[in-house]
A and B are shown apart, each in its own frame.
Chain A
């Protein structure tokens, strides 16, 4: 059983399109995150949700909109995709009270052409 799963693993799309990446965790964690890892391999936090509520929203264009239908899911919707959005996007989860060990998904490699 995969603890944190993201779909799709690869996503190739044209500029201007809208796409979504889904994330689910079966660990019972109350906090979920989205990270972006660019070509230089910097891993930057984008969003953090705790019990379906947005906690952290780093400097991210408003074309990126996270949605958390329940605390086991945190989906990422991206509007009007741009070339610079090409990166690997990681979803993660952790317990806020149980320490800060976070579990990451396998990543979604987004390529905008």
Chain B
């Protein structure tokens, strides 16, 4: 599975939109891009998954360009409770594994 690279940390003020970009240059045709969120002292939680173009749910949006070598997780109007580590993963149905990188530590400032 393709390795992912994302910023180590980001800060944002409450109410702002936050975009976290992840690069996955070696993504394969049958791979998906999946994002997880982890709060302190909790296990990671699935946020969103996409294959191409744009996916939106009640929590976030995921933008994937045509070449799929990168993706951007967009969190609208963040609040203090969005402070967490966000992991970008390249995943494959049937692969039986989920490899987590270093993640991006997002700190929301009042």
Question: Contact string, B72-100, partner A, CB cutoff 8 A, digits 1/0?
Answer: 00000000000001010001111111111
Report if B43 contacts A (CB, 8 A): yes
User: Interface majority SS on B: helix, strand, loop or mixed?
Assistant: loop
Report if B49 contacts A (CB, 8 A): yes
**Chain B residues with CB under 8 A of A44:** 100
| Distance in angstroms between the alpha carbons of A101 and B49 in the assembled complex | 8
Q: Which residues of B contact A (CB under 8 A)?
A: 32, 34, 38, 41-46, 49, 85, 87, 91-100, 102-103
Question: Contact string, A66-110, partner B, CB cutoff 8 A, digits 1/0?
Answer: 000000000000000000000000101010111111111111000
Determine whether the beta carbon of B45 is less than 8 Å from that of A96: no
Cβ of B107 to closest chain A Cβ, rounded Å: 14
**Chain A residues with CB under 8 A of B45:** 104
> Which of B87, B96, B102 lies at the interface centre, i.e. has the most chain A CB atoms within 10 A of its CB?
B96
**Which of B41, B42, B100 contacts A43, CB < 8 Å?**
B100
| Distance in angstroms between the alpha carbons of A87 and B77 in the assembled complex | 34
Cβ of B90 to closest chain A Cβ, rounded Å: 10
**Chain B residues with CB under 8 A of A99:** 32, 49, 93
